[in-house]
Chains A and B, each alone.
Chain A
């Protein structure tokens, strides 16, 4: 990430510590990936669901379910694309 990370010397860590760190880094990477998808989805669904003027800091009874449906339907769409792709591939 930032250049100061280069100062940290890992070579004298034990094998076990290295393994543990690797596991930790891969977990963090996974978390970061999920969060970045959440950012993407929030942005996209916000544009679709929060269409009226902002009049409070809360989501109203239309907006909240719309955001939830938006996430679900996006994943459904993604799955549909993958399934259809698989099907087309089978036809070749």
Chain B
């Protein structure tokens, strides 16, 4: 962070670049956090309907598969939504 606070003599280009990297990185973290929340909610709902004293191996397998499935569902929705909003007649 020191290079940020030292405003004089800092290369403008790299400073701008640092800003962009920081914004990109924060967006990516936020994006990952949102996905993890949704996966946890939906897969817990789906795979652990009656929580027992431990997570069974069946439940663990279900959660792992569910997670892959959710991410692939996310990609399908993303592709479809972007395709739709880019087409002229929404």
B81 touches A57 (CB 8 A): no
Q: How many A-B Cβ pairs are below 8 Å?
A: 122
A24 touches B23 (CB 8 A): yes
Cα A25 to Cα B16 with chains together (Å): 12
Main secondary structure of the interface of B (DSSP, over half): helix
Which B1-47 residues have a C-beta within 8 angstroms of A? 1, 4-5, 7-8, 10, 12, 15-16, 18-20, 22-24, 26-27, 30-31, 34-35, 38, 41-43, 46-47
Partner of B5, one of A5, A9, A20, A49: A9
A42 touches B77 (CB 8 A): yes
Q: Known pairs A41-B77, A55-B65. 14 more at Cβ < 8 A? A: A7-B4, A7-B5, A12-B8, A38-B77, A39-B34, A45-B73, A45-B77, A46-B70, A54-B47, A57-B67, A58-B69, A59-B73, A63-B73, A67-B76
Contacts of A81 in B (CB 8 A): none
A36 touches B76 (CB 8 A): no
- By beta carbon, the residue of chain A nearest B24 is A28
Shortest distance in angstroms between B88's beta carbon and chain A's nearest beta carbon?
A: 13
Cα A41 to Cα B85 with chains together (Å): 14
Cα A57 to Cα B68 with chains together (Å): 5
- By beta carbon, the residue of chain A nearest B5 is A7
